[in-house]
Amino acid sequence: MQVKALLRLSVATALATIVLKSGAWWITGSVSLLSDALESLVNLASALFALAMVTVAARPADHDHPFGHTKAEYFSSAFEGLMIAAAAIAIVWAAIERFMHLQPLEGVGIGLALTVISSVLNGLLARKMLIESHVHRSVALEADARHLFTDVWTSAGVVVGLILVQLTGWLWLDPVIAIGVAMNIIREGARVVSGSIDGLMDKALDPEVQERIDRTLARFAQNSVRFDDLVTRRAGSRHFLDMHMHAPASWTLGQAAALRGEVEQALMSEVAGLRASIQLLPWDVEARFNTAQDAQ
């Protein structure tokens, strides 16, 4: 399933869960269910923004953006993190108000049923989106999926908490649960923002991907060549690799270039979405760039 189609489905699901959770809050008057509904509003805004950023990221490279537009997906996850923080503030404010004016809950059974239905919808969608995010290497899709999983666990905590309120009669437990929801989504928001910052700052590829690259290069190192100064980075769904390949000085340029082409093709076949750039050098020549010193 395509990324855009999944995000459109996410928008539709968010609208459905907003209706269900808002109905649950309206029936029961529970501030913890209100907090759950507010998180669904975040899901809707995040899915809409993610859909916009994925559309931008899909644009081909142009004169002003020769490496493409794939980093646009990181803005989606950053926006989602900020929306989560805003929702958490609103939830805490509502919880404090409820602490000051405790009130009994009504129609809890119906409210919990609506919440469970919305959680099932979110859980099924989140699982599908997380699987597809790895297939399409979509940062925006993964961020949306992980947030939906957080929503599912949040709803589960709310359901358990409201059952305890009914069993114990402790009305103060309802706003306490709401604050717990806020703390949980703040934690998730911080993780999402951290991931987007790493991407915008050209973080290296994951160790598992780097290991696959090393294994591929090891196959060619037996052909009288060696590789060094290997650097990697990720930009949305694209992976980039730059390195040096040292060949014997006695080789012709055509011979060395032919082997370089084989290496690049093998790397790009091993790692989907990889763009490999290899600089040819004689065996006894070094060309290093002290990036740490250059940055000072």
Q: Residue 48 is part of a domain; what is its CATH number?
A: 1.20.1510.10
3-state DSSP assignment of residue 279: strand
The residue ranges of DSSP E strands in the chain, in sequence order, are: 226-235, 238-247, 274-282
Q: What is the pLDDT of residue 275?
A: 84
Residue 182: pLDDT over 70: yes
Domain boundary among 200, 233, 265: 200
- Same domain, residue pair 231 and 151: no
Range of the domain at 109: 3-200
Higher pLDDT, 278 or 36: 278
Tokens at 37, concatenated = 């509904």
pLDDT tens figures, 133-159 = 777 767 677 777 877 887 787 787 778
* 154 and 172 inside one domain: yes
- Do 144 and 27 reside in the same domain of the chain? yes
Domain boundary among 181, 200, 219: 200
Q: Give yes or no: residues 90 and 217 share one domain.
A: no
* Pair (223, 281) in one structural domain: yes
Task: Kindly tell me if the per-residue pLDDT of 295 is higher than 60.
Answer: no
Pair 16, 160 in one domain: yes
Q: Find the angle CA(200)-CA(229)-CA(266) to the nearest 5 degrees.
A: 85
Phi, psi of 70 (to 5 degrees): -65, -25
What is the pTM for the complete model shown?
Answer: 0.60
**Interior/surface letters 185-205, b for 16+ CB within 10 angstroms, e for the rest:** bbebbebbbebbeebeeeeeb
Is residue 47 domain-shared with residue 163, that is, in the same domain? yes
Q: Per residue in 226-252, pLDDT tens?
A: 898 888 887 666 788 889 999 898 888
Domain count, the chain: 2
Cα–Cα distances (Å) from 250 to 225, 245, 263, 283, in that order, read 12, 15, 20, 10
Say yes or no: 147 and 12 in one domain: yes
Give residue 119's identity as a one-letter amino acid code: S
Report the distance separating Cα 278 and Cα 264, nearest Å.
8
State whether 254 and 124 are in the same domain: no
- Tokens representing residue 207 in the block: 């160790």
Question: How far is residue 43's CA from residue 47's CA, in Å, rounded to a whole number?
Answer: 6
Q: Which of 166, 200, 234 is the last residue of a domain?
A: 200
pLDDT digits (tens, 9 = 90+) for 6-27: 888 888 888 998 899 889 888 8
Residue 227: name the closest of 278, 272, 265 by CA.
278
Whether residue 169 sits in one domain with residue 48: yes
187 and 227 both lie in a single domain: no
| One domain, residues 35 and 10 | yes
- Where residue 277 sits, what CATH number does that domain have? 3.30.70.1350
